[in-house]
Chain A
Amino acid sequence: MTMAPVIPGPPATSPAPLALHGLSVEGVNQCVHCGLCLASCPTFSELGTEMDSPRGRIFLIKSLAEGRIGLTDSTVAHLDLCLDCRACETVCPAGVPYGRLIEAARAEIERQRPGGAVRRAFRWLNFGLLLGRPRALRAAAVGLRLYQASGLQALVRRSGIARLLPGTLPAWEALLPSLPPAADRAPLPPLTPALGPRRSRVALLTGCVQSIVFGAHNQATARVLARNGCDVLAPAGQGCCGALNAHGGDHARAIEMAKRTIETFEATGADAVIVNTSGCGAHMKGYGALLAGEPAWAERASRFAGTVQDVAEFLAREPLRGPLAPVPMTVTYHDPCHVVHGQKIRRQPRHLLAQVPGLRVVDLPESDWCCGSAGIYNLTQPEMAGRLLRRKVRNIEATRAEAVVTANPGCILQIEAGLRARSLRVPVLHLVEVLDRAYRHA
């Protein structure tokens, strides 16, 4: 038969692999434009504009890589507005690696447009000063504790003075957690020995932010793991896993942090690396892809990534060991994005809660819908974060649950702030806290 003519127009062939900031975005070609992701995207759902949908952002990234468009203000704004919640990955039949694409795009944004002063200040505060340096974080924690204990915080919140703070600072203030007393902030011992027959030897990521603000989570995690036959190592000298840097476009530092984390945990010889924060777990499981370009590290990073497990994922592999005391209350479970979408862990937390006697778990509508926390999103995009938070709180209210259970400190901070704003006295607990309570009262 005769061949049909080739239609003139923009180049139909793009022989060179597509990349941004040296990071491959070939994954855009897996997108067949079916649009099944649209309704799963929180920002599209709120705004209805396709530039703020996964398919639209993939298209923007593709167009950027092909040189059809440049990095204009509007394009940056649409890419920045992405929560990186990866809900779209869960529903994508074509397997588009969306998380990797948006991170590459953000690295390119960071390269071309290092951002405004406020943004830089926060980046310095978060990434540079605090996250990589536990001691600095601890010093900040003392200051925070003083701020809260002195009653100054109450005054600030009452007076509404926070609204006069520049930029995103009001959002920052609203999210400040109630700091636990010093006992809960104490570092974990290097080894928490297994109770009962030994099942495994694991190392716990104690993290950066949560070791201070949520030290109690780590302590509860260690106790619950020990009750289930694990020697729990908490290697000293571990720092940040680099997730926030990667999500924020700070690719170089993310790589350094990944290497340090791998080194630290490899040295423990543990069977598994347990993580109780969603973004860290999802990020560490992706170390293989992150370091794929470095021959000396690629295989090592992949192997390491294979040992990383979310605490719920690990515990749910076997029935919980008894005895468990009843926890007579009604709770609802919120899926952290990087647990449910980033790591595809949906069934396990519910399975664990179902084993707690007396605990009634009611379904949360849109349970796998982002609460707006999304790393530092609630600080950089307070308006959208606030819309999503109000939506989350409305759904929580509808369940009439007495407490919200989730599995990530960022979500806990955010949802607590949302409930506080509505004057609702509904505590937000980490899954391990619920299990720990059942064990401690047994």
Chain B
Amino acid sequence: MSPLLEKLRAALGPANVLTGVDLSPFVIEGRTPEVAVFPGSSEDVAAVVQQAAAAGLPIMPWGGGTAAAVGATSARAGLVLGLKRLDRLVEHEPGDLTATVEAGMTFDALQSALRARGQWLSLDPPDGDRATVGGVIAADASGPRRHLYGTVRDLLIGLTVVTADGAIVRGGGKVVKNVAGYDLPKLFVGAYGTLGIVVEATFKLRPLAEEERLLAVTFDRLKDCGAAVRALLASDLLPNAVEIVDAAAGASLGLGAAALLVGFDGLPEQVDAQARELAMLVAPLGGRDVTVLAPATWPRLASLARDALASPAAVMTFSVLPTLVADAMEQGAAAARQRGVGSAWSAHAGVGAVTGALAADREATTVAAVLAEWRAIARAGGGHAALAWAPLAVKALVPVWDDAGPAGRVMQRIKARLDPNNVLNPGRFVAGI
């Protein structure tokens, strides 16, 4: 250990190499890493990777730490590779509608820099004040506006990564359309740092809308919300967000019942016209008054179910067909209720992304039993479910990731080729990767 530490300190400066008690912010699920380092350049990241790999130390890339507990638990915590010093906006050319940014910049910092020039990166992941650009890519984080603007895969056009052997590799480019070579950016989105460490990324941007409005319509039942979503998707309206929340999650917004939340943006006349049409559309479906929510509500939507419970016992995310969202929420809530456990639910309903949070800290076996049922519900809906958060005792009983089937073997082959010594976040990902 100590020869490695010496090398790291020499390369990065002692202040950027933490050990001992200084590691407490990086303790995950009770495991303390052996060292945390903060390189200041891509070259330094590459050097650290080479040294850690040579020393046989697993590497955990670290942005804001907001998703550090996501994933299976690996045997050994190893080296935390923090990217907070790579925090520059490298380039923003408004005329090109693109920006290149270092991976350690926080998401909100990037957005405010872009907003100052009338543009934005059309992503709204949770915890944007702490989450970093690199972390958002690695976790494929998104929020309600993904309904219209898509997810990281739709907006990331180029990146620079440090690979498992310490090479600096670029994929994609800085132009909005590019098919030269393989689409490497796709490979790293949602890969949780298992194939390389993102150090820089280029995104395509959008101009800021002149107006944006978030509307809420409450319904008696989730099922009615589902019917309203179906009608909304079949209509000519172009919402930028279509959310369903159950009464528990809606309570935190002061709604008190299951609700449909719909966002519109664009020119003022477009927002007005759509708000009017929405009211007409939901009325015959049992929708009560349409109310306007404060703009400050937006950033809460990405984590509404999780935040609705004081300390959830587990959080699961589902990917299902959009038409099955309301059913999945009702069935999931019923499954929890049967075991005497409360739950809270929210969904990016138009794209079939559902989050369920389990209340009350019951014994792990009860929690695990509910989660197993939830996963079955997701599969019945043509999709899959992942454990976004749970205590170790529950993770021991319920696999974090769903079974990837034969595709899992393809993923394993990719991992084996790109990280043959298994140094990047080993054991944390799908299919045992």
Q: Tell me, yes or no, whether A and B come into direct contact in the complex with CB atoms closer than 8 A.
A: no
